Homo-oligomer: A and B are copies of this chain.
């Protein structure tokens, strides 16, 4: 049973989705290959990497075009972030911020934000600031998850800085994300209303009914992993985050309300798959069936989109 009662998403039909559309069937088959590749190439490890990038593992030649699509998006987000966080004074603050911004494990919700913007006909640069903001807030949230506290065992992650710094700097990264987003408001583009709407989307996702709620309940992890609990956690954390990324991209690209909600649900399923495969309890039996179900639901949301970008975004799942 899927947990699909989030107030942020319109509940989809809960059934196995055997696509009748041959294009989608083809995509589904291609996506299955990528999913398996991504499954091993994008582990939710705690290892540090100098900057986010797509998996380096060689993949099937038929995938190369989509692969370079994601790589080019991630490269733009990286470049935007590196420009936004130069090593400037106060160095003792910006150096750890720079480090922590790129220390979190791979997360593709920011890239999905840009892809969703393009899918609805927007330009890539309309979503780059929001994608960077999402990345910063995810990295801040990750850093706080690793923080050694007096009431929880020290996480096994290696720490580059003391706890004080790793508490403080992410407290600056979240506002900085909102700043980047607000600064992308441009009177010439008349996009202030969209930016404010995206601010609300991101704030809700990172806040008390989204990520924070998920993290809170993660503290209550049952002794024996339960598939329902894993689904619920994946929905609250990765699901909500990817759903937000996709919806924000669609808003910024000027998508219709229907497109925004379709992409929000697509993001939800994609994020849940990521969370279930790479998050807690990834060895749970019965996972493959739920993941397949989610993948079908995700691809169904793309059925009515047109244009060359459909194939690219479908490769995400």
Contact = CB atoms under 8 A, between A and B. Distances in A.
Contacts of A154: 150
Contacts of A144: 167-168, 171
Stoichiometry, as copies per complex, reads 2
A196 B185 contact: yes
Main secondary structure of the interface of A (DSSP, over half): helix
A43 interface: no
Interface in A142-160: 144, 147-152, 154
Contacts of A228: none
A97 interface: yes
Contacts of A219: 164
Interface in A204-256: 204, 206-209, 211-213, 215-216, 219
Contacts of A165: 216
A209 B90 contact: yes
A195 interface: yes
A239 B94 CA distance: 21
A12 B87 CA distance: 29
Contacts of A151: 162-164
Given A93-B213, A144-B167, A169-B212, A199 B179 contact: yes
B215 A200 contact: no
A315 interface: no
A16 to B, nearest CB: 30
A172 B212 contact: yes
Nearest to A208: B172
Contact of A207 (B148, B163, B164, B179): B179
Interface in A182-213: 182-183, 185, 187, 192-193, 195-197, 199-200, 202-204, 206-209, 211-213
Given A148-B150, A199-B199, 9 more contacts: A144-B168, A150-B154, A151-B162, A172-B207, A175-B178, A175-B204, A176-B203, A187-B193, A192-B192
Interface of A: 90, 92-94, 97, 137, 140-141, 144, 147-152, 154, 162-165, 167-169, 171-176, 178-179, 181-183, 185, 187, 192-193, 195-197, 199-200, 202-204, 206-209, 211-213, 215-216, 219
27 contacts: A90-B208, A90-B209, A92-B216, A93-B212, A144-B167, A147-B149, A150-B163, A151-B164, A152-B163, A152-B164, A167-B167, A168-B212, A168-B216, A171-B212, A172-B212, A174-B174, A175-B178, A175-B207, A178-B178, A178-B203, A182-B196, A182-B200, A187-B193, A192-B192, A192-B196, A195-B196, A196-B196
